Amino acid sequence: EDQVTQSPEALRLQEGESSSLNCSYTVSGLRGLFWYRQDPGKGPEFLFTLYSAGEEKEKERLKATLTKKESFLHITAPKPEDSATYLCAVRYYGGSQGNLIFGKGTKLSVKP
Amino acid sequence: SQTIHQWPATLVQPVGSPLSLECTVEGTSNPNLYWYRQAAGRGLQLLFYSVGIGQISSEVPQNLSASRPQDRQFILSSKKLLLSDSGFYLCAWSVRTGYDEQYFGPGTRLTVT
């Protein structure tokens, strides 16, 4: 059973068309939820860390929010350069210090 | 600022050959270090992590091994590669507490033929 599920798997938007990506998790005792951006052939780039329900963080056109069971990455007025795969990962109490559990990602394409 | 390097960037190796991938971190001391593998259609899979020189924890049993000969150097090795070892290998670091975000390197694309 997947502990971190991201939806949709792929999302195509027109430039300027706002939308949201979802990351749901089933672990108990969340100790941090992380969002990354990954361009093809490159390593993931860190975007945000969220620690508690109700927390929000923003960076340019991206805003991440967290509830007790899921997180959303809102993209406002996206541009073609926002095209990438967005990864979500969680860490929970009782998990090993090293272990981030990753979802499979949402591939975002923004057309001009 | 901190920088993480990986090499080589790409590698094509025959089945049964040895492997050595290297990762180094600059601009920080006593980091936690991690090796991940990313296969097509699957999420990132943690292979090894290290909280200090000579301290390695394995998350997934396989024919790979890791070593940390220096504080900011992490090496992934294999004596004999399998076809299933193909993938995108990523090194990452985090601060010593280990409970904050991890920062990833550029990755190594390994193809086993």
Torsional class of B64: left (φ above 0), alpha (ψ -120 to 50), beta (otherwise) = beta
Confirm if B74 and B31 have CB atoms less than 8 A apart. no
Pairwise CA distance, residues B5 & B60, whole Å: 24
Report strand pairing: B10-13 vs B108-112.
parallel
Q: What percent of chain A has pLDDT over 90?
A: 82
Q: Does the structure show a pLDDT above 90 at A1?
A: no
> Based on the structure, what is the number of domains in chain A?
1
Confirm if A50 and A59 have CB atoms less than 8 A apart. no
Find the domain containing A53 and state its range: 4-95+103-111
A13 C-beta neighbours (distance < 10 Å), count? 18
Select the residue from B50, B68, B101 to test the A interface by mutation, using most A Cβ atoms within 10 A: B101
- Using the Cβ of A92 and the Cβ atoms of chain B, whether some distance falls under 8 Å is answered with no
- Structural domain boundaries in chain B: 3-112
- Given B41, B51, B109, which is nearest A97 (Cβ)? B51
- Using the Cβ of A40 and the Cβ atoms of chain B, whether some distance falls under 8 Å is answered with no
What average pLDDT does chain A have? 93
Q: How do residues B17-75 score in pLDDT, each as one tens digit?
A: 999 999 999 999 899 999 999 988 778 999 999 999 999 988 876 789 999 999 999 99
Q: What is the CATH number of domain B3-112?
A: 2.60.40.10
Pairwise CA distance, residues B98 & B106, whole Å: 21
Which residues of chain A does B58 touch, with a Cβ-Cβ cutoff of 8 Å?
none
A81 C-beta neighbours (distance < 10 Å), count? 10
pLDDT band at A41 (very low <50, low <70, confident <90, very high): very high
Start-to-end CA span in chain B (Å): 38
Residue A101 forms beta bridges with which residues? A90
Q: Give the 3-state secondary structure of residue A80.
A: helix
Nearest to B100 by CA among A22, A37, A46: A46
Pairwise CA distance, residues A91 & B100, whole Å: 9
CATH number reported for the structural domain that contains residue A51 in this entry? 2.60.40.10
- Given A4, A34, A42, which is nearest B101 (Cβ)? A34
- Given B42, B101, B105, which is nearest A43 (Cβ)? B105
Contact: A42, B105; criterion CB under 8 Å = no
B29 C-beta neighbours (distance < 10 Å), count? 9
Q: How do residues A70-95 score in pLDDT, each as one tens digit?
A: 999 999 999 999 999 999 999 887 66
